[in-house]
Amino acid sequence: MDKTVVVTLTDAGYFSRAKRTIIDIRSRGEWTGDIVLITVGFSASRNFLDYYNVIQKRVEHISTEYLVKQYGQFPLKTIGDNRHVLKLYQWDKFYVFDDWFKNWGKVIFLDAGLRVFDKISILDSIPCEGKILAPDDAPTYDQDKRFKLMMELDANPVAADELFKEYSKDILNGRYFLNCIWVYDTALLNTCNIIEMIDTMNKYPICRCNEMTIMNLLFTFKYKVWKAFPEFVVGGNGLQKRLFGWIENDRNYGSDRTWRDFCFMKYPCTINMECE
Q: Tell me the average pLDDT across 2-27.
A: 96
Can you give the pLDDT at residue 13? 95
Instruction: Answer yes or no: is pLDDT of 178 > 90.
Output: yes
Angle (CA) 77-162-131 rounded to 5° is 90
CATH topology of domain 4-265: Spore Coat Polysaccharide Biosynthesis Protein SpsA; Chain A (3.90.550)
- Give the Cβ contact number of residue 230 at 10 Å: 13
Residues 6+ apart with CB under 8 A from 159: 70, 74, 203, 204, 205, 206
Instruction: Answer yes or no: is pLDDT of 251 > 90.
Output: no
Instruction: Answer yes or no: is pLDDT of 159 > 50.
Output: yes
Can you give the pLDDT at residue 81? 83
Separation of alpha carbons 74 and 213, rounded Å: 18
Q: Per residue in 51-95, pLDDT tens?
A: 999 999 999 999 999 999 999 998 988 887 878 877 899 999 999
- Where helices occur in 134-181 by DSSP H, the ranges are 157-166
Share of the chain above pLDDT 90, in %: 80
Q: Tell me the average pLDDT across 161-167.
A: 96
Separation of alpha carbons 227 and 235, rounded Å: 21
226 confidence band (pLDDT: 50, 70, 90): very high
Instruction: Answer yes or no: is pLDDT of 273 > 60.
Output: no
Greater model confidence, 173 or 2 = 173
Instruction: Answer yes or no: is pLDDT of 1 > 60.
Output: no
Separation of alpha carbons 252 and 222, rounded Å: 29
Q: What is the mean pLDDT of the chain?
A: 93
Share of the chain above pLDDT 70, in %: 96
Distances, alpha carbon 141 to alpha carbons 92, 144, 145, 253, in Å: 32, 9, 10, 11
Separation of alpha carbons 129 and 220, rounded Å: 15
Can you give the pLDDT at residue 254? 73
122-148 burial string, b = 16+ CB within 10 Å, else e?
A: bbeebebeebbbbbbbbeeeeeeebbe
Q: Is 37 exposed, middle or buried (0-12, 13-18, 19+ CB in 10 A)?
A: buried
Q: Per residue in 62-71, pLDDT tens?
A: 999 999 999 9
Lowest mean pLDDT of 88-97, 144-153, 253-262, 266-275, name the range. 266-275
Can you give the pLDDT at residue 275? 41
Instruction: Answer yes or no: is pLDDT of 46 > 70.
Output: yes
Instruction: Answer yes or no: is pLDDT of 35 > 90.
Output: yes
Separation of alpha carbons 7 and 253, rounded Å: 27
Q: Tell me the average pLDDT across 208-214.
A: 96
Strand, helix or coil for residue 72: helix
Q: Per residue in 111-143, pLDDT tens?
A: 999 999 999 999 999 999 999 999 999 866 666
Lowest mean pLDDT of 174-188, 207-221, 233-247, name the range. 233-247
Strand, helix or coil for residue 233: strand
Greater model confidence, 82 or 163 = 163
Q: Tell me the average pLDDT across 175-204.
A: 97
